[in-house]
Structure 1
């Protein structure tokens, strides 16, 4: 049966040749169904029970839950099927063709993170004829790079259920047990335009925005004085003022101004409370300037994430890799899987330094060691599993 599934490099080549860009710009956004269908076909051939789960409210988007074995507990190997957009003219070779040179595999998604799926399938292939005491689940999600709608759909559906989860984001196979959250927010101020020769003829949205910016900078100082975590290279939460747009002419009172910014909270900080704090700080400026101030999230956000240092999966990953579990600033689907009750880490081949840029690559010498580590994880949590390991 397993002969019907292509070998690792053939699988990766087909995945790279199947574009699945997700973007907040509608004209660049694509369906991921072709990638999901490929993965489902390969895993069906290996004896997995596959479920393609459409993402509600997102036509053309779906998750895949592929399960080998049954029962409580078990291990999830998880990845996202989408990629970021790319500028093809900046690549040395086509981003949609797997190209090998200099002992590297080039292509959009090779490390972030289509490359994880063939590696996970190759590890799973070794256990097709092995009786499992707990299930092995390969999970493929939609829209991680844009909205996290695939991961949120899993939480809303309450599945999959397992005890442990490894997300194969590019970490050079260093186990990651913590990351910051991510909020992308907007503040829109609406005043009244008028002739600039008489300020009383309008309400200047830019004047109000000046005070809003001051409040945000004060709030950033407050956060950084009250929250710190030395596990992160940037040990404090950050608040970045990203872009601002307002007004249309120097001799008109500015009638509207909008700011977009991001916040990266530390583990233990609640996104909704941060939003509430900001709203409380800027709302009084409405009366002061005679404007309306509307605070809105640009997307629902990514919660911060932490798995305890003494967790079984962290300990096992540290043993197998020889690396102490670390913290990173970028966000992943880990908090969503954690919300489903899974002990979760992030650990995959490739480097985040190669992600989201031209000539993305996966080093060939990372493939076999990753297959080996994932195989040992499957052995530990799906073959040698018992009540003590799985949790009663």
Structure 2
């Protein structure tokens, strides 16, 4: 079977698994394991939560220096989106393949799996590893487990290609993604007697104001020559929940905010300033009114950025595979930084455009899949 035909057959099967982050992906992972094992793949399934799993599978010799082909198996929800047809049934029109996950990022997974017979038949000097994860869309949770297990097992791949949709451009760096929810607990009461309550909403708004003040410092911290758009770390207030009625002092408030640091020092700067303001100003004022008052961070997700490396082996490999020389950086986050933290050189390159991701009638084109297959078809030659 031709590579493209095999890829489309696999992609159709992958799309049929409704692996939304809120649901289990285990059936999909088990299907991938069953597909790979006849090609001699050594499959390890890992998880830290019921119903969800990663797979780390290896074809080739048991030696260091292998190449990881990585992708996430979860997709974003389709609820409330205006799809032209069933999002979990792949359809083709005009050379475009529609379905949830075709672009982000089951197209790359399908192409990588389609090459398994060729990897198995090749005389590889270094192994090819498949690393497919859960819950990337809600904080790269699965990749954290997978990379930790890889490090604990003493596995030392040299490089990883993360196949996020880049239109097959070579991406050597991206910002981090840090998400937080901070909850304020006050004391409710009648609005006509403000001294008897602790207004959680008012303290939450002061917290928000401080974040906005800190945000003003970030443009000046951008490294000279930064290629990011925008060129500096960003910070956004995304949620504020509080109150039940006009005449009730709210005793609960929650602030959801995020930042996308281009360097660890920016993350540390923001965290240190908002934490000191909370610890030294807001919390003492609240507790002076009533000791039950409190401020607590109830959710935090910090995904590492991918720092450009002029000596990146992963970038060198993808340049050789694609014939391309230009590299870029992007503002959206991926699992690449986690592999980099685990000691594996990482690069991002995959079929489809990020502009199609997360939208109704998501698609990837045949042309993009063909370019991806051409790149992956040269992998075996790179590992001799």
The TM-score normalised by the length of structure 2 is 0.90
1:151 is aligned to 2:150: no
Q: Tell me, what secondary structure is at the counterpart of 1:277?
A: helix
Q: More displaced, 73-82 or 44-53?
A: 44-53
- Output one character per residue of 1:150-169: Cα deviation in whole Å (capped at 9) or x when no partner: 11112332255300100000
Quote the offset at 1:271 in angstroms: 4.6
Distance 1:149 1:321 in 2: 33
Gaps of 5+ in 1: 23-28, 384-392
Distance 2:33 2:211 in 1: 47
1:248 is aligned to 2:244: yes
Quote the offset at 1:305 in angstroms: 1.5
**Preserved CA contact (<8 Å) 2:108 2:369:** no
Of 262, 274, 279, which residue of structure 1 is paired with 2:258? 262
Where do 1:66-77 residues align within 5 Å?
66-70=57-61, 71-77=63-69
Q: Tell me, what secondary structure is at the counterpart of 1:207?
A: helix
Distance 2:296 2:215 in 1: 17
Of 332, 352, 355, which residue of structure 2 is paired with 1:353? 355
Where do 1:207-226 residues align within 5 Å?
207-226=202-221
For the structure 1 residues 63 and 270, does the alpha-carbon distance in structure 2 shift closer, same or farther, using more than 3 Å as the test? farther
Runs of 4+ off more than 4 Å: 270-273
Of 259, 262, 283, which residue of structure 2 is paired with 1:286? 283
- Output one character per residue of 1:21-68: Cα deviation in whole Å (capped at 9) or x when no partner: 10xxxxxx2111111112112211222222222x12x10111111111
- Output one character per residue of 1:224-266: Cα deviation in whole Å (capped at 9) or x when no partner: 3223462101111111111111122222222222211111111
Quote the offset at 1:339 in angstroms: 2.0
1:199 is aligned to 2:194: yes
Quote the offset at 1:88 in angstroms: 7.0
Quote the offset at 1:323 in angstroms: 5.0
Distance 1:205 1:50 in 2: 50
Quote the offset at 1:193 in angstroms: 2.0
Equivalent in the alignment of 2:50? 59
Quote the offset at 1:197 in angstroms: 2.0
Quote the offset at 1:126 in angstroms: 2.5
Distance 2:20 2:104 in 1: 12
Where do 1:100-179 residues align within 5 Å?
100-157=92-149, 158=151, 160-179=155-174
For the structure 1 residues 190 and 297, does the alpha-carbon distance in structure 2 shift closer, same or farther, using more than 3 Å as the test? closer
Distance 1:355 1:326 in 2: 19
> What RMSD in Å do the two structures reach over aligned CA positions?
2.1
1:322 is aligned to 2:315: no
**Preserved CA contact (<8 Å) 1:190 1:205:** yes
Equivalent in the alignment of 1:309? 310
Where do 1:80-99 residues align within 5 Å?
80-87=72-79, 90-99=82-91
**Preserved CA contact (<8 Å) 1:173 1:321:** no
Q: Tell me, what secondary structure is at the counterpart of 1:348?
A: coil
**Preserved CA contact (<8 Å) 1:105 1:363:** yes
Quote the offset at 1:373 in angstroms: 1.1
**Preserved CA contact (<8 Å) 2:174 2:333:** yes
